[in-house]
Each structure stands twice: as structure tokens, then as C-alpha cells.
Amino acid sequence: MKLRLLAALAALTAIAAPALPQASPEKPNIVILLIDDGALMDLGIYGGEAATPNIDALAGAGAMFTQYRSSPLCSPSRAMLLTGIDNHRTGISTIPEVLPPEHVGQPGYTMSLEPGVTTLAARLKPLGYRTLMTGKWHLGSGEGDLPDSHGFVRSFALDASGADNWEDKSYMPFYADAPWYEDGQAAALPEDFYSSTFIVDKMIEYMDEDTNRAPFLAYLGFQALHIPVQAPPEFTANYLDTYSDGWEALQTRRWKRAQEIGLVPEGAAQPALHPDLRKWDGLPEDKQRLFAARMAVNAGMLEAMDHHVGRLIDHLKTNGTYDNTVFVITSDNGPEPSSAEDPRFETWLSANGYHVGIEGIGEKGSYGFIGPEFASAASSPSYLFKFYVSEGGLRVPLIMAGPGIAPGRVDAFAMVTDVTPTLLEMVNAGPAPEGAVTLDGRSLLPVLSGAAPTVYSDEDAIGIEVSGNAALYKGPWKITRNLTPWGDGQWRLFNLETDPGETQDLSAANAALFEQMQADYAAYAARVGVLEVPSGYDSVAQVEKNMTAAVLKRAMPKIIAFSIGGLLLLGGLVWLIYNILRNRKKKAQGNAA
């Protein structure tokens, strides 16, 4: 692992000297590779344990961002990534799984891209681009919500928050099945399906359909590293001993490594693990082996994804399009803390052909997850994980490489909403169509070209909110509010320049600044249309309620049919008994006569 880290650092150092590449006079191709639930330090170039040589090579030849932020949850991040617009203004403020009934159907909470919200694909298609999409979509499930209605000429899309990586089936009770669609029509998966393999195979197939060599946008939404965490055993085998010393050790290793490679300042305080998390030494040995194996699958899943990314890169090199292709590699949010250790969920898993044991871990039928403890460790040097607006949920990798991009490390602040405006400026897309919702993000081209050190000033206030979890950045300062179950709903103030792990609340010592930033957040929330969550809102409890409602809704026709059948049967029995009694009465009367 240390050799991989040194090689990655050498690659990054080596690219500091070359001159800025000259942009091609042709419109560049664009490839967006989106990791699902990847932590800041998961990739090798960022100091992670998994071997990711293909992505590392792109980072070495391009711009590696160290201060990029996304949203804390998948659908809002995807909506912002593909539109450049704040999640509330897209219509996808959160995900359906955690939506409280008070927000259903409200503006910004329709769970669909709302009128006037224009995707990158819809902007590029009129410019002659072939717009292609494979993998996870999760941006609306109604009529007109799939990729073919939002600018993609070819698409093979998963319309759910996740799915099995080996089979055509659901991964949670919220979904009856795995809803895959090709060009808007329900589609089945091949027998030899593995998600990363198929997502790349299908994209190559779409690319090869074009004989006119038009520029293309290729958006690949990988299922790695979303639950169920699954990987081919040959990749998992590379990490079976990597995590055997537990989550506290991993968190410390990544925190130290982050200082060595400059992701945080030397001497930055190590964030504490949440007090409700289990201690590694308190687990029996068999549980330790099981959790270490789950993390091995997690790393193997990332390496498998990178392997297939390498196949895509090789294909582009073979067909001569690689040199004029801009690559964007990022993650939608931080690592996933969800667990499958609830006995009620285990019943559903068993009924749907899943097991959570170590035998055949990561393979077909295995339901993998890393849980909140390893998710906290993976998010180091940050605090908490996916869904929460602490840095562990928001601070993720971003790599951009290709013509016109100066190679080197970028320490400037950037947001997920900045990606689309950057790409639009790169291709000289021109003005937005009439009636389009205005962009919230900013083009990063001045930073990528070396013309400016940053596109945000210390006076810019940048907010984010998803399901009650809220944050606002302003220069080195950040305020956060995290709700239960892993937060307490209180606002806090941190100086990320000196304390990137958010270990010391400075609100009392900087009362005026704290008050001003809360006012800045209130202005942001009013501008984008944030709805406050109901009192006592708990995202985990809401998922359970929404899953129960979804299951009952699917089962209701059967329940009604069963009930009607039961009533008819009961009515028939009553009629039969009535007739028997009536006949007996008649017979008795006849005998008496």
C-alpha cells in the first residue's frame, strides 16, 4: 500500500512542471465518472488503500481538487452535478426514501427535475453532442423523469437509490425490484451481470454506434461503493488483511496520511469517533473478521470499478478520442453508514436470497455493508459520513483532466454545482435556452487554466441543506447543523483552515460571526426554498415509515383481493347455514302437520 501511495505522490509531483496543454479546436468529448458513496481518501491518489491506477493516472495528468464539496446525499448531488443548480431549485431537495409527508409534492420537493431545470445533456445535445448515460439515475420515477426525457439520446439507467450488483433484484423493501430502463423502456440485465462491468460495456456499445465521430458526453453512474457492497473475489482477496486492526486504527492511519500528503495541515486535530459507535476491541474475534472482510470487499469493489474504467480509457485511446476528452471523476457524497444488522431487515434479506455472513462474502447472494464505524474511519480526516453535513458527508474527491486543464493540485474551494458551468464554458455552449432556471454554480475554468487561484472569495456564503442537515461555508469558516440520530440539531461554528476535522466549536468565541453566518444561511434557505423538517424528524425512522408504506401500497391489491375473497366466502357460508336452517325449519313444520 505504501508503495502505491508513493507512486501516486510521485505522479502528482511530476505533473507540477509541464506547461499548460493547448485546448483542441474541436469541441472536447466529456466523460463523467461518478462514484457512489466514495470517501475523500478512498482513491489511491488521495491516500486510500485500494489500488486505483487508472483514476490515479488521470489525476496525475490533470487537476486534483482537495477542497471540493458535494451534497451529503445521492440524488441531490446528482441533480446539482448535472444541472449546476442548487438541489432545492432542481426539485430534488432530498431522496424519496427519507421524505416526510409534510414535504411531499411541495415546490423543490417533487422528487423530479422541475420545469426549466436543464441538464448538461440537454444543453449539449443541440450542439451536436451524442449524449450517453449508463448506471444509476435516481432523479425521478414518473412519466418524463428518465434520462431520455432530459437530453440523453441513449441511456441504460437504474431508477432507484441502489440495486444488487450481481443480479436483477432490489436491495431494500422500498423497491419491489431493480427498475432498469433502456431509453425509457423497461429493460432486463444480462445473465453474466456485474454492475461495473456492465456499466462500462454498455457505454462502449453506445459509443461504437456512432460512425460520424460526433463529440460525446458520457455519464457513468457507478454502483460502487453503494450497498450492497459486492465485488469479484479476485479483487477482494487483495485486501483481506488490510483492515484486520479495526476502525480506530484505520481512522488514525488516514488522518496521519492526510497530513503527510497535505489534505489537512500538519498537527490538525484528529476528529473523535462518535461516542455511540462501538469499540473494535469490544467485538468478538469472529465479528472482527467479518467486519474486516466487509471492508476488504469495499476496497475490492473500488479496485474493480477502476479496472473497468481502465477498459473504457483503453477503448478511447484505441478509437482515437482519448486526447480530446475531458474527464470528471468524483463521488456523490461520503461513505455509507447503513447497516443490515436489524433483525427485521435480516428477515427481508433472507426472504430475498441474501446472507450477511463471511462465507462467499462479496459474491452473489452476499449483502455487504461497512456500517457506521468503518464509514467514520473511511471519512477520516473528516467527521461523520453520508447524509450529514459534517465534512465526512460533504468533502469528497474531484479530478478533472483533459485538453485545456493545467495539471497540478487545486486547493481552491469548489462545489458540486460548479461542474456543469465549467463544462459548458469549456465547450462554448452559449446562453441557456429561454425559460431555463439560472445556474447557482460558477465555472472553475479560471482555476483549471491557471488564470486565477479561486472563483470564490472569503465573502461568498455557500449553503447546503438536505432533510434538515444544513451547513454554510464562508471563507475558512463553516457552520453546521446535524439532526438525529448522529447529530443533536444544534448549530456550531468551525474554522476549517485550522480545524478541518471540526473538533472545536468556536461559536461562543466568535458570537458576531456566528450570528452573521446564521443570517447568511437564513437568506440562502429563503432564496432556494428550503422547507424546515417537522419537529422530531429522524431520517432513519422516516426511512422505516416510508418503506413500510411502500410495502403496504404494493401489497394492498392482494390484501383487498384477499379481503373480498374472504367476505365472499363468509357470505357464502352465511347463505349456506341460513338455507340449512330454513330447510330444517320447513321439514320440522311439515312433520308437525
The reply to whether 88 falls in a domain is yes
Q: Which domain holds residue 438?
A: 2-18+32-98+119-211+219-447
What residues are paired with 134 via a beta bridge?
156, 220
- What integer pLDDT is reported at residue 74 of this predicted model? 96
The reply to whether 515 falls in a domain is no
Strands (E) located in 388-476: 398-401, 408-410, 414-415, 461-466, 469-474
Q: What sign results for the dihedral spanned by CA atoms 118, 122, 126, 129? A: positive
Reported pTM? 0.90
Q: Using an 8 Å Cβ cutoff, are 62 and 406 in contact?
A: no
Q: Could you give the C-alpha distances from 296 to 13, 51, 398, in angstroms and in order?
A: 29, 12, 24
pLDDT-based confidence at residue 592 (cuts at 50, 70, 90): low
The reply to whether 263 falls in a domain is yes
The residue among 403, 399, 405, 426 whose CA lies nearest residue 129 is: 426
Q: pLDDT tens, 80-132?
A: 999 999 999 999 999 999 999 999 999 999 999 999 999 999 999 999 999 99
The reply to whether 561 falls in a domain is no
- What integer pLDDT is reported at residue 142 of this predicted model? 86
Q: How many domains in the chain?
A: 1
- The domain that holds 373 is classified in CATH as 3.40.720.10
* Residues annotated as part of the active site: 74, 138
pLDDT-based confidence at residue 587 (cuts at 50, 70, 90): low
- What integer pLDDT is reported at residue 494 of this predicted model? 98
Q: pLDDT tens, 184-235?
A: 999 999 999 999 999 999 999 999 999 888 999 999 999 999 999 999 999 9
Q: Is the pLDDT of residue 573 over 80?
A: no
376-391: average pLDDT: 98
pLDDT-based confidence at residue 146 (cuts at 50, 70, 90): very high
The reply to whether 176 falls in a domain is yes
Q: pLDDT tens, 8-63?
A: 444 444 333 333 344 445 899 999 999 999 999 999 999 999 999 999 999 999 99
The reply to whether 476 falls in a domain is no
What CA dihedral angle connects 105, 111, 112 and 117, to 10 degrees?
A: 90
The reply to whether 527 falls in a domain is no
Alpha carbon of residue 551 to chain centroid: 24
Q: pLDDT tens, 517-531?
A: 999 999 999 999 999
The reply to whether 425 falls in a domain is yes
166-174: average pLDDT: 93
